[in-house]
Amino acid sequence: MPMLAEIVWTVSPEIINLQLGPLHIRLAWYGLLFVSGFVVGYNVIQWVFRREQKPIEDVDTLTLYMITSTVVGMRLGHVLFYDPAYYAQHLIEVFQIWKGGYASHGAVISIMIAIWLYTRSRPQQPFLWMIDRIAMVTAFAAICIRVGNFFNQEMIGTPTNVAWAVVFTLRDSVPRHPAQLYEALCYALTFGVLLYLYRKQGERTPHGQLLGIFFIMVFGARFAVEFVKKNQVEFEDALLLNMGQILSIPLILLGAYLLIRSRRLAS
């Protein structure tokens, strides 16, 4: 039998979209997956705190820090890195997060700031100790977000004729790389590696090790996949590397530094 030329993706981004009088009920795949990432992360962090005998009641506070910093950072990252000129003229749209426009690099920065603020009053949960463990759940959340992007038919890849090419019917009729799934698979591998190392080492995990591996694997994958991903904004077409790749380089280098440092501490 001949091989399938491409996969035609016709699944709606919305699971439910009902208008019942004045009541509008809408449930989207992206929102469901986004929330799922935090639900799983909450349970993983609870397991970590129980394992290392940290105050379990702190998990609720930490989760609030994480949710707020993730949403704010993703939105401001897009505004500042990808289209600052537009939003400078349309300030009200900065707050219209339901219209889309997010950047993972912004979330990384805001999460690190939030964890620093969280740990300032908790000396038994130092910054690198905490953020190493947050790196695990962030990797899982990244999987959910990229699968959500796939359902939303956004962050699509460049045209291709590979056997697994996908036609995103909400965008066009062109077979493209499923770049969102490439990243999701890389993030799943990252989550597996981090979870394995933490289960093996536990409280003996050298500070900065998991975060360093996270930065190298996640943003190394992001840098590579961007070569088969459609640029998000027009100005990137004139660049040798697009904005996602440019922003990934310092995080990869920071990851290498943290990993080398953690090995020295462990020796």
Do 148 and 33 touch, CB atoms closer than 8 A? yes
N- to C-terminal Cα distance for the chain? 57
> HSE (CB half, 13 Å, CA atoms) of 141?
27
Distances (CA, A) of 53 to 40, 47, 57, 108, 119: 20, 10, 11, 27, 16
Output the pTM of the full model: 0.90
Pairwise CA distance, residues 130 & 66, whole Å: 12
pLDDT tens-place values along the chain, 267 residues long: 344 567 999 999 999 888 777 887 888 999 999 999 999 999 999 999 999 999 999 999 999 999 999 999 989 888 888 888 888 888 888 887 767 778 888 899 999 999 999 999 999 999 999 999 999 999 999 999 999 999 999 999 999 999 999 999 999 999 999 999 999 999 999 999 999 999 999 999 999 999 999 999 999 999 999 999 998 888 888 888 999 999 999 999 999 999 999 988 877
Residue count of the chain: 267
For residue 186, the surrounding DSSP H or E stretch is: helix 179-201
Question: Using N-to-C axis directions, what is the helix angle for 104-120 and 58-81, rounded to 10°?
Answer: 140
